[in-house]
Amino acid sequence: NLNSVCLKKSILITAGPTIEPIDPVRYISNHSSGKMGFALAEMASKLGYKVFLVSGPVNLKHSNSIERINITTADEMLSEVKKLIQCQKIDVFIGCAAIADFKPVNYHEQKIKKINSADQTSKKTEEMTLTLTKNPDILRYVANLDIQRPFTVGFCAETQNLEENAKLKLINKKLDLICANDVSKKEQGFNSDQNSVTLYWGNKQKELDLASKEKIAMGILNHIQEIIPKKI
Ligand code: PMT
């Protein structure tokens, strides 16, 4: 039905970790499994959104209705997100990916050797320094767009001072909504099947208590429907 296709809202969700290569055998990454982002994508599809999912390397399946783009690094994720926002009319953006904040300044074409000095007793062989540089902030880029800016939702993953950090990110990155999760708790967060989040927007907040990531995803999406300006 042409009418429902035209009226269909589109949502862009990032998920999973990014991988920042050091050399052909080593990389910097984190524990994100992609489960939270994929749950958001599945639930958004159920709610009738056209779903774009930009995902780092994860081992998860998804429905055919979801358009998935695979990336490895933060730079690749940014370039795919930019392309989608330029070419599709994206109504809602949710940054659920755990993007490596830093990447190595130099990629070594060959495997870095453990010992590069003949003197194995020298301190030089016991330490190595890796110089890192900041990755682009994808969420900040989307939230600060002047044109074609989607309703922008971020996540905040912390092991301490969750509320304070979430409120700072909400304001500093100019987000419409942030979903704060405590990743120090064993039963939730990275790689678990459950999560609990506190939503912060404006000067309001709402708790979504411990539940399956699908249930939490539905709670977040329902909340977005409630607070999103009606013109979007
Ligand atoms: O994947 P799972 O195993 O299911 O775990 C889910 C999760 C814990 C990864 C997820 O719920 C979550 O919290 N995702 C965000 C992780 C994160 O990187 O949080 P942060 O507080 O470091 O970053 C804040 C926000 O900025 C996030 O929306 C992040 O996507 C975004 N960001 C961060 C750095 C960067 N360079 N660019 C970004 O866009």
Q: Is residue 120 part of a domain?
A: no
Q: Is residue 116 part of a domain?
A: no
Q: Which atom of ligand 1 is least distant from the CA of 173?
A: 26
Q: Is residue 39 part of a domain?
A: yes
User: How many structural domains are present in the chain?
Assistant: 1
Q: Is residue 23 part of a domain?
A: yes
ipTM: 0.99
Instruction: Give residue 169 CA to ligand 1 midpoint distance, Å.
Output: 11
pLDDT, residue 121, reads 60
Ligand 1, atom 31: closest residue by C-alpha: 139
Q: Compute the chain's Rg from CA coordinates.
A: 19
Note every long-range contact of 207-213, with CB atoms under 8 Å and residues 24 or more positions apart, other chains counting.
212/39, 213/35, 213/36, 213/39
Q: Is residue 37 part of a domain?
A: yes
Instruction: Give residue 122 CA to ligand 1 midpoint distance, Å.
Output: 40
User: Which residue range is the domain that position 63 belongs to?
Assistant: 2-107+125-227
pLDDT, residue 23, reads 98
The enclosing domain of 216 has a CATH number of: 3.40.50.10300
pLDDT, residue 1, reads 45
Catalytic residue among 3, 30, 59, 161: 30
Q: Is residue 232 part of a domain?
A: no
Q: Is residue 96 part of a domain?
A: yes
Contact 137, 173 (CB under 8 A): yes
Q: Are strands 151-158 and 20-23 parallel, antiparallel or unpaired?
A: unpaired
Q: Is residue 31 part of a domain?
A: yes
- Pocket-forming residues, ligand 1, beta carbon under 6 Å: 32-37, 74, 95-99, 101, 135, 137-139, 154-157, 169, 181, 183, 189-191
CA separation for the pair 37, 15 (Å, rounded): 5
Counting every residue written for the chain, the total comes to 232
Instruction: Give residue 148 CA to ligand 1 midpoint distance, Å.
Output: 23
Per-run averaged pLDDT (10 residues), the chain, 232 residues: 63 98 98 98 98 98 98 98 97 98 97 71 74 98 97 98 98 98 95 98 98 98 94 60
Buried b (16+ CB within 10 A) or exposed e, 36-56: bbbbbbbbbbebebbbbbbbb
30 classed as catalytic: yes
